């Protein structure tokens, strides 16, 4: 099946630093990628929709200047958490949308666990 | 607005059958996903329903009724490894695709 990779899988950083997370679709092209955040024992919350070659669409309450998204190619999207703070500690997961009609699906990356000290 | 509801927790016995329901209200409905998520891991794809009816895939089946805004995931011959969270998610198309997740149902399978 299709594979989506995320790097890094785990990050520990000091408060105030920036962290970049990469999401790659390894064997298919994804015009749309999604970034989610998941806190413990909660469901996935959509942060933004990333479209190749255009600006990301952010969900209400998500600061676009803090969570920078770049979708440089059909196989790569990056999320940069700028000036990270302890409250940004979470599990960040990307997914890539592919297929059409009944064949549509989304494949998820393995996630990046961010801990801000 | 949009709303996705599913039970918070369910418990079932190994070897039994369990049905996890999901109701939704949304505009621009395109289809409905079911995902399985084990603790600390990313979700894995189980099914995607676009048309009304039941789709069977091994021990797992998924049903959709678009007119009723209702879906269920049916798990047969439960195994201990099926203990996980099951996420119902709606794919919306309102000028662009967006997937919105329900809160998930934590399934506990007991011996």
Percent of chain A past pLDDT 70, that is, above it, reads 97
pLDDT tens digits for A63-78? 999 999 988 888 999 9
**Res B97: pLDDT:** 81
Using the beta-carbon criterion (under 8 Å), do A105 and B33 form an inter-chain contact? yes
In the predicted structure, residue A23 carries a pLDDT above the cut 90: yes
**Res A105: pLDDT:** 82
pLDDT tens digits for A32-53? 899 999 998 888 999 999 888 7
Instruction: Among A7-11, A65-69, A106-110, name the one with the lowest average pLDDT.
Output: A106-110
Q: Give the Cα separation of B39 and B53 in Å (integer).
A: 30
In the predicted structure, residue B24 carries a pLDDT above the cut 90: yes
Q: Measured between beta carbons, which residues in chain A are less than 8 angstroms from residue B31?
A: 102, 104
DSSP codes joined into one string, chain A: ---EEEE-SEEEE-TT--EEEEEEESSS--SEEEEEEE-TTS--EEEEEEETTS--EEPTT--TTTEEEEEEETTEEEEEE-S--GGG-EEEEEEEEE--GGG-EEEE---EEEEE-
Nearest-CA distance from A20 to chain B in Å?
Answer: 19
pLDDT tens digits for B50-71? 999 999 999 999 999 999 999 9
Nearest-CA distance from B46 to chain A in Å?
Answer: 10
Mean predicted confidence (pLDDT) in B84-101: 90
In the predicted structure, residue B12 carries a pLDDT above the cut 70: yes
* A43 vs A113: which has the higher pLDDT: A113
B1 touches chain A (CB under 8 A): no
Q: Nearest chain B Cα to A46, which residue?
A: B100
**Which of B43, B50, B94, B100 should one mutate to test binding to chain A, selecting the residue with the greatest count of A CBs within 10 A?**
B43
Q: Nearest by CB to A106, which of B50, B96, B99?
A: B99
Give residue A1's pLDDT band: very low, low, confident or very high (50, 70, 90).
low
């Amino acid at each position: 099946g299709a594979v989506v990779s995320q790097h890094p899988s785990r990050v520990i950083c000091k408060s105030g630093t920036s962290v970049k997370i990469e999401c790659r679709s390894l064997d298919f092209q994804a015009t749309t990628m999604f970034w989610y955040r998941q806190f413990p024992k909660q469901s996935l919350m959509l942060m933004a929709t990333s479209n190749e070659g255009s600006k990301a669409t952010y969900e209400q309450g998500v600061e676009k200047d803090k969570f920078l998204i770049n979708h440089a190619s059909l196989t790569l999207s990056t999320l940069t958490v700028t000036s990270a703070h302890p409250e940004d500690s979470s599990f960040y997961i990307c997914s890539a949308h592919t297929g059409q009609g009944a064949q549509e699906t989304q494949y998820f990356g393995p996630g990046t666990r961010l801990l801000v000290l | 607005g949009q709303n996705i509801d599913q039970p918070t927790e369910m418990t079932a016995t190994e070897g039994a059958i369990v049905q996890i329901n999901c109701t939704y209200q949304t505009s621009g409905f395109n289809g409905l996903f079911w995902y399985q998520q084990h603790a600390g891991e990313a979700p894995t794809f189980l099914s995607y329903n676009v048309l009304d009816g039941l789709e069977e895939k091994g021990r797992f089946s998924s049903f959709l009724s678009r007119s009723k805004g209702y879906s269920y995931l049916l798990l047969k011959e439960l195994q201990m490894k099926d203990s996980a969270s099951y996420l119902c998610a709606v794919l919306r198309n309102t000028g662009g695709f967006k997937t919105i997740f329900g809160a998930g149902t934590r399934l506990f399978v007991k011996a």
